[in-house]
Amino acid sequence: MSGPVVVSGAGIAGSALALGLARAGIDVVVCEAHPDDGADAGAFLTLAANGVRALDALDAADAVAAVSDEMTDLRVFDATGAEVHRSPLGGGDETVRYRCLTRAVLARTLRDLAVARGVEVRHGARVAGATPGADGVTVHLDGADDLHGCLLVGADGLHSPVRTIIDPQAEPPRPIGQRVYYGSSHGAGTGRPGDFHVFRTGVQAFAAIPTPDGRTRWFARVDDPVPDDAVPDDPVPDDADPRAALLAVLGGGTAAEIVAAAEETFVTDVHDLPHVGPWSRDRMVVIGDAAHAASPATGQGATMALEDAVVLAKALRQDPAVDAALARHERLRRGRTQANVVASAAMSGHPAEGADPGETLPDEVLHTHLDRDRPLP
């Protein structure tokens, strides 16, 4: 390969890919637009069993376990507060536990691990353009010298500039007509730390996860029709008091008590990408949210990003011809990630009309893809 793999974005997908490439002995440079990693500190996510398997393939499962909380059971409560369902998360597989942590901590942990393993991560390095050539790609950075690499990977999120460089006709993200409120409360809500509590309330979904240090992390999905004058690229609505706005639609009950005790409340408009064109062109490719951002209902976005990183790193290790590796990666990943986008949109109550339905992957096939020692099909 002529030059390093240049990765745009040191979020979850980009940092995980850096780990996978470093493990495969492939030179990599990561460019992160933000000057530091302080953004997004409040947003938490859950990592399902497949995400933990992907972390294991990157030798990162222990590092993430050290900064996250283990999750145990799914418990559902009706409007009167009575428990109507309880089951172990992950179907009771004791070997792979779900984890809960903030998005920022996950990205930082993966990034720090990559740096410790010799990866160069440049902060404040915004990818602004790219010019493909015969032997690779020249990456243009805002206010800094160009970089030459054998491949540019856009791991640069929902509003990915690399997606638009690959496909100038790419559709902008779709605002689905729903908001997610999330936050952390102290001294409200009860239950065993690590249990995922779902409360049937007046909103689309409300869930809470008590943490071992006495806090409760929670989120609420609330339908909110998209106004005609919505700005497509503006993900954060300008709510003066998101907690009050949420309390107004929650009514009473345990969910409202938890939100009333919130130390911090965040809100974001939900977007997804139901119709994405080609993932790659001329030594450029997108992964993670840049390729297949889903609404959060299935809780699989970060996990899909981790899976992408494992599979792309394996494909590049296995196939020295970059174009062939990218084709293999897309063949193995496209159907599964598209199925998640479509399923999540449907679960949210905002189906992705006219979208390719994608394809579910049997567990044993996925496990082969994520097994670091078994070759990709």
Ligand X SMILES: Cc1cc2nc3c(=O)[nH]c(=O)nc-3n(C[C@H](O)[C@H](O)[C@H](O)COP(=O)(O)OP(=O)(O)OC[C@H]3O[C@@H](n4cnc5c(N)ncnc54)[C@H](O)[C@@H]3O)c2cc1C
Site string for ligand X, 68-107 (x = CB under 6 A): -----------------------------------x----
Find the binder of ligand X among 69, 156, 224, 307 (CB under 6 A): 156
* Contact (CB, 8 A) for 224 and 203: no
Tokens of 170: 């790419």
* Contact (CB, 8 A) for 104 and 40: yes
Q: How far is the CB of 287 from ligand X (least distance, A)?
A: 7
> Is the CB of 82 or the CB of 352 nearer to ligand X?
352
Find the binder of ligand X among 155, 222, 262, 273 (CB under 6 A): 155
> Is the CB of 8 or the CB of 254 nearer to ligand X?
8
Site string for ligand X, 16-55 (x = CB under 6 A): ---------------xxxx--------x-xx---------
> Is the CB of 167 or the CB of 319 nearer to ligand X?
167
> Is the CB of 103 or the CB of 283 nearer to ligand X?
103
> Is the CB of 78 or the CB of 234 nearer to ligand X?
234
Nearest-angstrom CA–CA distance, 37 and 11: 9
Q: How far is the CB of 362 from ligand X (least distance, A)?
A: 20
Please give the size of the binding site for ligand X, defined by CB under 6 A. Answer: 34
Find the binder of ligand X among 4, 5, 6, 9 (CB under 6 A): 9
Q: How far is the CB of 377 from ligand X (least distance, A)?
A: 24
> Is the CB of 210 or the CB of 299 nearer to ligand X?
299
User: Applying CB under 6 A, which part among 131-139, 156-164, 171-179, 200-208 lies near ligand X?
Assistant: 156-164
Tokens of 15: 């940092």
Is there binding between residue 10 and ligand X (CB under 6 A)? yes
Is there binding between residue 64 and ligand X (CB under 6 A)? no
Is there binding between residue 127 and ligand X (CB under 6 A)? yes
Q: How far is the CB of 320 from ligand X (least distance, A)?
A: 26
Tallying the residues shown for the chain, one arrives at: 377
Is there binding between residue 194 and ligand X (CB under 6 A)? no
With left for phi above 0 and alpha for psi between -120 and 50, is residue 285 left, alpha or beta? beta
Cα atoms in the Cβ-side hemisphere of radius 13 Å centred on 128: 10
With left for phi above 0 and alpha for psi between -120 and 50, is residue 221 left, alpha or beta? beta
Nearest-angstrom CA–CA distance, 7 and 286: 10
Q: How far is the CB of 10 from ligand X (least distance, A)?
A: 6
Considering only residues 275 to 304 of the shown chain, the ones binding ligand X according to CB under 6 A are: 288-290, 296, 299-303
Nearest-angstrom CA–CA distance, 140 and 312: 23
Amino acid at 237: P
Considering only residues 300 to 359 of the shown chain, the ones binding ligand X according to CB under 6 A are: 300-303, 305
User: Applying CB under 6 A, which part among 52-60, 69-77, 131-139, 152-160 lies near ligand X?
Assistant: 152-160
> Is the CB of 220 or the CB of 316 nearer to ligand X?
220
Three-state DSSP state, 174: strand
Binding interface with ligand X (CB under 6 A): 8-14, 31-34, 43, 45-46, 103, 126-127, 155-157, 161, 180, 182, 268, 288-290, 296, 299-303, 305
